[in-house]
Structure 1
């Protein structure tokens, strides 16, 4: 039995339901028993294996995909909910903690640095969207909201700026302090991911500008050398 639990706020709960339905169909197609559960608006101090629906002897993976960069840290407030989340997650004793983030420095960087980072990164991203998503697709309008991220990264300050991406080195230090260790990526995962990338939508790019590289335990997948990253950590002793 594969159990997947989505943790959402009141806004995200409705978004997760279609995801659960899609995963259920996927499980039925490949004869994989799958149970999808949604936990809405839990307080960090109450986050536990029991709340998530997992037994103490079950293997647990906590997946951080494009979520952590919007959480406040010590650069914004002494409250620092990001470190509290890391400590709570470590207390759940997960085997693996995958981290997927945009490889870009827009957190504590200067204004000019943020302008350069945001415009270059998102220009490459929007170009890839333009090359792979037909203009008449209804989903394209939803995808193009990424242009709003540029404005927030550059024009907003203080609590109004929620686009606060970090580079791999900073995430490595942050999670290391929290007690997590880097774990080498499985070569099977890397190989299958590479095949899927090169034979999927991204192969329709007009120019050969898709990059793929492995650095330590990090996978960089980018367009015009401005990548997103996948990093896998394990709980330290």
Structure 2
């Protein structure tokens, strides 16, 4: 509680321009925090570093990007992503639920086109999908007098890394050959922010499904309005900070004739693709507020649970994930502003009206999808549990929701 109170106090001092008090608070934290201690001690090391960077950016009028410590290497980040997949159940749970929802939405159809906007680490999700689809078709054909048709599967994957796309193409093509699928893989090297949905290789009337895992929140960074911030000596600088919810901004633009926010345009563009189902997985947290103090308070609540999840993991793996991935996210949430702050998690409660505004209708995740997801949790500690609420699923650590999985349809 002392570390938590000190971190929140430092955030308040930074916001009101009390540099001396903030600096003293960070000095106290440095004596209590430890990258090798318990969850809150380890967590505090990353929050204190992020606050120090935010403090420097305000006191010297530089953007936070100019004073952040040296980022982790691409190799370390890649290793951290693979370990995140191994140590946390979120991706495996999401893949199982998403795959089942797509299969359920495509019953009776021979052709399927999947748009993958998740920037996946590898081809795992779609290899599992092919195997599940093959099993489903086999069981369906066994009760039919007609010979089964070869299923046609097309996957369009959007990713910033060409090497990952090349590896996915190779693995998926080999798996499709083993399973006797007709298969096409389209690769698009792009970030979500720069993706032109009108240029996707989609044919008219093609049955479409969309998968987005822990990525959509990054688009919120493109809609920041500039606001003034008080810094020492009563100077005022302009820093881009997020509104508490981009939905309010979207509504504002509708009535003021201002440019339509990027998020609203993107979701509407996805709706125009007329997907039979879109499954979205997002962090169930709200660290996208305007206030630094609010981001620190809610970030501590969310990441304390994540660090607690890792407590029983092998120390070397835990350190790599905390430094190479979770720590970088914390620094981005706390130290960065404007378009440089990409990690902008919002709760499903905020996403629902945003998606409905774009034209989507919420769909209930089926019991089979939930069952598949629960099977993936069996390899992890019993502290994980799943809550079903408002037609969606929430993966929780004890009573703290960490990830939501929701399904959406065109009509």
Larger radius of gyration: 2
TM tier, smaller? 0.7 to 0.9
Q: TM-score, normalised by structure 1?
A: 0.81
Instruction: Identify unmatched segments of 5+ residues in structure 2.
Output: 1-151, 226-258
d(CA) in 2 for partners of 1:126, 1:12: 28
Q: Note closer, same or farther for the CA distance 1:7–1:75 as it changes in structure 2 (3 Å cut).
A: closer
The structural deviation recorded for 1:96 is 1.1
- Could you give the per-residue CA deviations for residues 140-164 of structure 1, whole angstroms, max 9, x where no partner exists? 7367422211122123223332211
- Mapped partners of 2:305, 2:321: distance in 1: 17
Of the three residues 373, 376, 390, the one matched with 1:216 is: 390
- Confirm whether residue 169 of structure 1 aligns to residue 349 of structure 2: yes
**What is the rounded CA distance, in whole Å, between the counterparts of 1:80 and 1:71 in structure 2?**
10
- Count of equivalent residues: 223
2-structure distance, mates of 1:40, 1:181: 29
Which position in structure 2 is the counterpart of 1:106? Answer: 287
> 1:136: how far off?
5.2
Deviates more, 1:73-82 or 1:120-129: 73-82
Q: Residue by residue, what CA displacement relative to the aligned partner does 1:79-115 show, whole Å, maximum 9, x if unpaired?
A: 6211111121111111111111000001125322221
Correspondence for 2:370 among 190, 208, 229: 190
State the distance in 2 between where 1:147 and 1:33 align.
42
Aligned in 2, Cα 1:21/1:216: closer, same or farther, shift over 3 Å? farther
1:132-211 matched pairs, under 5 angstroms = 132=313, 134-135=314-315, 141=320, 144-198=324-378, 200=379, 202=380, 205=381, 208-211=382-385
**1:12 and 2:186 aligned:** no
Per the alignment, do residues 41 and 75 of structure 1 end up closer, same or farther by CA in structure 2, a change over 3 Å counting? Answer: closer
What residue is the counterpart of 2:187 in the other structure?
A: 38
Deviation at 1:166, TM superposition (A): 0.5
CA distance in 2, matches of 1:182, 1:157: 32
Gaps of 5+ in 1: none
TM-score of the two chains, using structure 2 as the length reference: 0.49
Give the CA deviation at 1:223: 1.9
Deviation at 1:67?
1.4
